[in-house]
Structure 1
Amino acid sequence: MNNKELQFAYKVRHALDASLDALPDDTTQRLAAARRVALARKKKGATVKVQQYSLANAIGGGNLSQPQTPSWLSRLGVAVPLLAGVLLFASLYQHEHSQRVNELADIDAAVLSDELPLSAYLDHGFNAFLAERGE
């Protein structure tokens, strides 16, 4: 069934469903009887195939009569953005980590190149002195 035939079938089904409540009782009883006869004639071992359609096929106008399995291209379409996201987050982490290391290296270089001994930085009185001076 091509796309136009399928659309026509959907329109017919919708029109029939819309006017279902307006049918007389004798017509609905005859339709129910015809359905029972059809079900009785159905082969015992026959199974009804239920087809599943993907949203991409319905939107893209693909062949709706046959369900399609995901191809390698559609899997690649999922994998590539996922891989790009992982690489983006890894590069952001690396950049932030290197910035933190550079900041710590600058602090260490400033402390080691200062004229004050290291014990002065551990003295609580020195911290109070710096707080009073506003440094």
Structure 2
Amino acid sequence: MNNKELQFAYKVKMALDANLDNMSDDTLQSLAAARRVALARKKKAPLTVRVEQPVFAGALGAGGSMSSGQPSWLGRLGVAVPLLAGIILFAGIYQHENAKRVADLAEIDAAVLSDELPLSAYLDHGFNAYLAEKNQ
């Protein structure tokens, strides 16, 4: 529709809205029927689907083209390398934290074993009360 048709349609709509209360039932029914006929005649717009693809995925890949729809090997590598680096980073952090935890536990075990008290003293609830009084 061009601009003039849109303006005319808007004016008709405004006039119909303004006189809606004054129209008879027959007029309202004929307008509704005309609307149904107009909607049935209206051509349906073809369904289009937009697919967004990064510009560099097809342009930089060897043999890859923008119209093929398949990402090039360089595009796949651009996804795989950061993913692999992240997995290696998380595995390294896990190993470091695990080694740190083992070292802390070994230090505690060494302190307990090198102490003068027997191990059964640490299991006694009265000994915990004694330590609490001693620290106060």
Q: TM-score, normalised by structure 1?
A: 0.56
- Aligned 8 A contact 1:120 1:126 in 2: yes
Where do 5+ consecutive residues of structure 1 fail to align?
Answer: 1-19, 26-35, 37-49
Residues 105-124 of structure 1: matches in 2 within 5 Å? 105-124=106-125
**Higher RCO (CA-CA < 8 Å; seq separation 6+):** 1
Per-residue deviation, 1:52: 6.0
Q: Which residue of 1 aligns with 2:84?
A: 83
Q: Which residue of 1 aligns with 2:132?
A: 131
Residues 1-135 of structure 1: matches in 2 within 5 Å? 20-22=1-3, 24=5, 53-57=51-55, 66-134=67-135
Per-residue deviation, 1:21: 3.4
Q: Which residue of 2 aligns with 1:40?
A: none
Per-residue deviation, 1:69: 1.7
Could you tell me which amino acid in structure 2 is paired with residue 83 of structure 1? L
Partners of 2:5 and 2:113 lie apart in 1 by 98
Partners of 1:72 and 1:106 lie apart in 2 by 50
Higher Cα Rg: structure 1 or 2?
2
Per-residue deviation, 1:72: 0.9
Could you tell me which amino acid in structure 2 is paired with residue 133 of structure 1? K
Could you tell me which amino acid in structure 2 is paired with residue 105 of structure 1? A
Where do 5+ consecutive residues of structure 2 fail to align?
Answer: 7-42, 60-64
Partners of 1:24 and 1:102 lie apart in 2 by 82
Q: TM-score, normalised by structure 2?
A: 0.55
Partners of 1:84 and 1:129 lie apart in 2 by 52
Report the identity percentage. Answer: 57
Could you tell me which amino acid in structure 1 is paired with residue 110 of structure 2? A
Deviation >2 Å, runs of 4+: 50-55
